[in-house]
Chain A
Amino acid sequence: MIHAVVLSFIVGVLAGIFLDLQLPGIFLDVTLMVMLFFIGYDLAVSINYKRLKKLILVSTKLVVATVAGSAFAGLLIALIFQRGMLTFLAASLGMGWYSLTGPLLLKFQGSNPGLLGFLANVLREIFTFIFYPLFYRHVEIAAVSMAGATSMDTTLPLIRKTSGSEVALVAIVHGWIISTLVPIILMYLLSTF
């Protein structure tokens, strides 16, 4: 699977650079809808409802870890490289949502922070595609945290394929809460400090 993922990314980058190819937004929307439909279907026929409460509790713990880990990394890297703390904190707290973090940082802090916000979060998604199976083998469900906000959409098929339906449900709840938190946290950070 990893070969297909890497190859499609490289082909996509080359098509973007040399052909300046632009797919309509509906392409991503439809793909995500198809994927979520089938994951919903799969979940309904395979979930053990007695374990649902426990899975939601685990999702909440993962949300706390994802926010805390992302914030800690942003502050640490800003300190090590002597860069703007707010920029790195905000870029890191985008938690994979590059289409929101990039434009918000661009608006509030300028082009380079905007680019950092975009790149750092695209890379979080790409690293999740590459490393999730490896992390899952070692830390099991904790690996969902690496996906951040993308655990409910773009990286969900990978999580489901690697870890099964129960972890997919945890990933959906985790991604949904993170996706709700990201705009609130970023708007608060960038407009207050």
Chain B
Amino acid sequence: MLNLALAFAAGLLIGLIYKKRTKIDSILLLTIVAIVFYVGIEVGRSRAIFNVNLLILSVILSFSAIVFSVLFAHILTRGG
């Protein structure tokens, strides 16, 4: 957690000093792919995807949590 906060703070600081715009989209894509690959390995190693009942319940639970969170957020943030 501290490492991540420090990396973010270092980026902010260097950005404030140099103030030079750079394209970071390809770096972001690379990090997304690396993170998702890591999550995939964890899921595969846990063999969790073979427990079908739990998998179905988890899909329903996580998707409901997403839908209700976004719905409430939309209600709260509507109109600024």
Q: Which residues from chain A sit less than 8 Å from chain B, CB to CB? A: 1, 4-5, 8-18, 20-23, 27-29, 31-46, 54, 58, 61-62, 64-66, 68-70, 72-74, 76-77, 81, 83, 88, 91-92, 95, 112, 115-116, 118-129, 131, 135, 139, 141-146, 148, 153-154, 157-158, 160-161, 172, 179
- A1 engages B32 (CB within 8 Å): yes
Measured CB to CB, the closest approach of chain B to A1, in angstroms, equals: 6
Measured CB to CB, the closest approach of chain B to A85, in angstroms, equals: 12
Measured CB to CB, the closest approach of chain B to A155, in angstroms, equals: 8
List residues of chain A with CB within 8 A of the CB of B7.
Answer: 32-34, 36-37, 40
**Interfacial residues of chain B within 50-72, with CB under 8 A of chain A in the complex:** 51, 54-55, 57-72
For chain B, give the interface size range: 35 or more
List residues of chain B with CB within 8 A of the CB of A14.
Answer: 40, 44
Measured CB to CB, the closest approach of chain A to B33, in angstroms, equals: 4
List residues of chain A with CB within 8 A of the CB of B61.
Answer: 73-74, 77, 88, 91-92, 116, 120
Known A5-B36, A16-B43: A73·B77 in contact at CB below 8 Å = no
**Interface residues of A, dominant DSSP:** helix
Known A118-B46, A153-B4: A66·B32 in contact at CB below 8 Å = no
Known A29-B3, A120-B62: A40·B12 in contact at CB below 8 Å = yes
Query: What residue of chain B has the Cβ atom nearest to residue A168's Cβ?
Result: B28
Q: Which residues from chain B sit less than 8 Å from chain A, CB to CB? A: 1, 3-4, 7-16, 18-22, 24-25, 27-29, 31-49, 51, 54-55, 57-77, 80
State the CA gap A105–B68 with chains docked (Å): 23
List residues of chain B with CB within 8 A of the CB of A29.
Answer: 3-4
Query: What residue of chain B has the Cβ atom nearest to residue A148's Cβ?
Result: B69
List residues of chain A with CB within 8 A of the CB of B70.
Answer: 65, 69, 135, 139, 142-143, 145-146
List residues of chain B with CB within 8 A of the CB of A36.
Answer: 4, 7-8, 11
- B38 engages A129 (CB within 8 Å): no
Query: What residue of chain A has the Cβ atom nearest to residue B66's Cβ?
Result: A146
Known A15-B41, A119-B58, A142-B77: A65·B72 in contact at CB below 8 Å = yes
Known A35-B31, A142-B77, A161-B28: A16·B45 in contact at CB below 8 Å = yes
- B22 engages A41 (CB within 8 Å): yes
> Which of B1, B8, B65 has its CB near the most chain A CB atoms (within 10 A)?
B65
